[in-house]
């Protein structure tokens, strides 16, 4: 089959990390970006036992990066005009961005990572262990860097494509409702459109139903993507963008007291906090309020301000139901007082059935809520790309879309997914997202609640924040 080359690149591409997402990304990068495999190099802390790098003729260097050696290691492999794709864990994204900025190297990552320890060090203040703090550090760095080598921060599926899904959903809802609007060209336009549609809350609503031949075993953490990445973010404080309509203050919640002030955090891990949400195929479900960058950036970019004061902002958070074996893994992890299991297994080739239903659920409009997103089965993913599952391919689609955008806009400075042209990103990503669909629903977090136990709910305030529950 002949595949579209979305961009041509004459520099060198260095990929940091070669876990489940790196293995899934490599085939599609070489398929859609016009560059020889000989100009691609992978630097990883562990050897490639899968043989995928060798299969595609890509050089592989086993070299862990730390605060002392990362500059010296990278100096030997990248220079001005090259591209650094960061898919690693425990390597500071901000440190890498600073290095790339000085050297004129383009950059993309899927989340903002710190150096080891910041997520889980009990001596680090809770506020500093959040994605809010990590994002604010990046925003401070980019204040005077709106031009220069492009660095795309947090561009995967979510964060990443979730921001594009929100923009498409807002336009769909406006057209369906007969709301007049001009095509948005800036953050203020998108925020005003969300306000006009009376969007009160946005869930990044995801249900992973993939199942493998061998089920989870005792003392084993099983997941459809990085185990280290999921455990790390699961042990960060639960975070969510906080809407201006909210008049209920959650127990244990706090503001940061600096920065954009678009989000709050809770004094409990996201892996121990559940939220009510909905997807079209799963219906209502309980997901985990895992902290993610899009919960903060979407809330920030959809804020309307007058006189320096926020007068409109939706509540935004992730509502993640991972595959069933990952849920069992989290349950065991919590029972061991958050000490990670001794064994880890990422599901890929042994998945037999299931899909990842990933989208955004916009609530508040008078005609009901609207879910827009991707429904992709593992069977479809395998047909579309080698070495992929439904989960990995959705992430890789976002990475590929972001890389192509960066190559076509090499002097954009430091940008978030919300800054990108969502249509351009989706044009690249769409072929790998399975069924993209939008579905209306009358569901809300207050609908069909059990009468077995009394709840402190104000029936006259249907949009109070009552949809999260502590396990």
Q: How confident is the model at residue 448 (pLDDT cuts 50, 70, 90)?
A: confident
How large is the average pLDDT for residues 304-313? 96
For the stretch 323-372, pLDDT in tens is: 999 999 999 999 999 999 999 999 999 999 999 999 999 999 999 999 99
CATH 3.30.360.30 in the chain, residue ranges: 161-392+431-470
pLDDT at residue 470, as a whole number: 46
Residue 416: per-residue pLDDT: 98
Decide yes or no: CATH 3.40.50.720 for domain 7-152.
Answer: yes
C-alpha span between 192 and 50 (Å, rounded): 48
Nearest Cα residue to 400 out of 215, 54, 161: 161
Q: Are 351 and 380 in contact (CB under 8 A)?
A: no
- Listing DSSP states for 330-357 in one string gives HHHHHHTTTPPPSEEEE-STTEEE-EEE
Cα separations (Å) of 222 from 24, 191, 246, 359? 18, 39, 36, 23
**pLDDT at position 191, please?**
98
Share above pLDDT 90 across residues of the chain, in percent, rounded to a whole number = 89
pLDDT score of 16 more than 90: yes
Are 320 and 310 in contact by the 8 Å Cβ rule? The answer is no
Element (H, E) at 10: none
Over residues 184-211, the mean pLDDT reads 97
Q: Is 206 exposed, middle or buried (0-12, 13-18, 19+ CB in 10 A)?
A: buried
Q: In the predicted model, what is the mean pLDDT of residues 428-448? A: 94
| Confidence (pLDDT) at 459 | 64
**Is the pLDDT confidence value at 142 over 50?**
yes
CB atoms < 10 A from the CB of 455, how many?
10
- State how far the alpha carbon of 256 is from the alpha carbons of 47, 139, 292, in Å: 40, 15, 16
The whole-number pLDDT of residue 461 equals 64
Between CA 190 and CA 382 the distance in angstroms is 36
Residue 222 pLDDT greater than 60, yes or no: yes
Could you give the CA distance from residue 17 to residue 87 in angstroms, rounded to a whole number?
5
Mean pLDDT throughout 11-20?
A: 97
What single string gives the DSSP state of each residue in 210-235? -EESSPP-TTEEEESS-HHHHHHHHT
The answer to which of 68-77, 223-232, 425-434, 456-465 has the lowest mean pLDDT is 456-465
Strand pairing of 148-152 and 412-415? parallel
pLDDT for residue 469 is more than 70: no
Q: What is the pLDDT of residue 462?
A: 58
Name the token pair of 206.
Answer: 């995801």
CA dist 65 and 50 (Å) reads 21
Cβ neighbour number for residue 308 with a 10 Å cutoff: 5
CATH 3.40.50.720, the chain: domain bounds? 7-152
pLDDT tens digit sequence for 91-119: 999 999 999 999 999 999 999 999 998 88
Q: What is the CATH number of domain 161-392+431-470?
A: 3.30.360.30
CA dist 412 → 89, 156, 159 (Å): 25, 18, 19
CA–CA gap between residue 368 and residue 197 (Å, rounded): 11
The backbone torsions φ and ψ at residue 132, rounded to the nearest 5 degrees and listed phi first, read: -60, -50
pLDDT attached to residue 466: 45
């Amino acid at each position: 089959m002949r595949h579209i080359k979305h961009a041509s690149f004459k520099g060198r591409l260095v990929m940091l990390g070669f876990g489940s997402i790196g293995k899934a990304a490599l085939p599609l990068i070489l398929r859609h970006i016009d560059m020889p495999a000989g100009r691609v190099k992978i630097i990883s802390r562990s050897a490639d036992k899968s043989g995928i790098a060798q299969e595609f003729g890509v050089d592989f260097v086993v070299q862990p990066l730390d605060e002392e050696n990362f500059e010296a290691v990278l100096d030997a492999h990248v220079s001005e005009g090259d591209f650094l794709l960061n898919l690693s864990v425990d390597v500071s994204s901000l440190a890498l961005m600073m290095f790339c900025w000085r050297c004129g190297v383009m950059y993309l990552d899927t989340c903002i990572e710190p150096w080891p320890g910041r997520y889980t060090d009990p001596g680090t203040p809770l506020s500093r262990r959040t994605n809010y703090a990590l994002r604010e550090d990046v925003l401070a760095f980019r204040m005077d860097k709106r031009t220069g080598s492009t660095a795309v921060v947090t561009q995967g599926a979510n964060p990443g494509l979730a921001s594009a899904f929100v923009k498409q959903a807002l336009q769909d809802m406006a057209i369906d409702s007969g709301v007049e609007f001009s095509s948005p060209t800036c953050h203020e336009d998108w925020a005003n459109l969300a306000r006009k549609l009376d969007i009160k809350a946005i869930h990044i609503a995801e249900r992973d139903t993939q199942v493998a031949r061998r089920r989870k075993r005792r003392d084993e953490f099983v997941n459809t993507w990085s185990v280290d990445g999921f455990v790390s973010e699961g042990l960060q404080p639960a975070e969510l963008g906080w809407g201006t309509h909210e008049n209920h203050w959650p127990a244990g919640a706090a503001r940061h007291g600096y920065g954009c002030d678009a989000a709050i955090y809770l004094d409990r891990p996201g892996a121990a906090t559940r939220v009510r949400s909905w997807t079209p195929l799963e219906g209502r479900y309980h997901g985990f309020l895992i902290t993610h960058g899009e919960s903060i950036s979407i809330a920030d970019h959809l804020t309307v301000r007058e006189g320096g004061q926020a007068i409109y902002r939706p509540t935004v958070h992730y509502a993640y139901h991972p595959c069933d074996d990952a849920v069992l893994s989290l349950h065991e992890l919590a029972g061991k007082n958050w000490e990670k299991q001794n064994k880890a297994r990422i599901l890929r080739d042994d998945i037999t059935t299931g899909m990842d239903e990933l989208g955004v659920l916009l609530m508040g409009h008078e005609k009901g809520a609207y879910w827009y997103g991707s429904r992709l089965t593992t069977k479809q993913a395998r047909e579309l790309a080698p070495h992929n599952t439904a989960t990995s391919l959705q992430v890789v689609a976002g990475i590929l879309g972001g890389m192509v955008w960066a190559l076509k806009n090499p002097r954009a400075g430091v940008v978030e997914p919300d800054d990108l042209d969502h249509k351009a990103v989706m044009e690249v990503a769409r072929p790998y997202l399975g069924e993209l669909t939008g579905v209306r629903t009358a569901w809300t977090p207050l609908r069909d609640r059990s009468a077995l136990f009394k709840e402190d709910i104000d029936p006259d305030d249907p949009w109070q924040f009552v949809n999260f529950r502590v396990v």
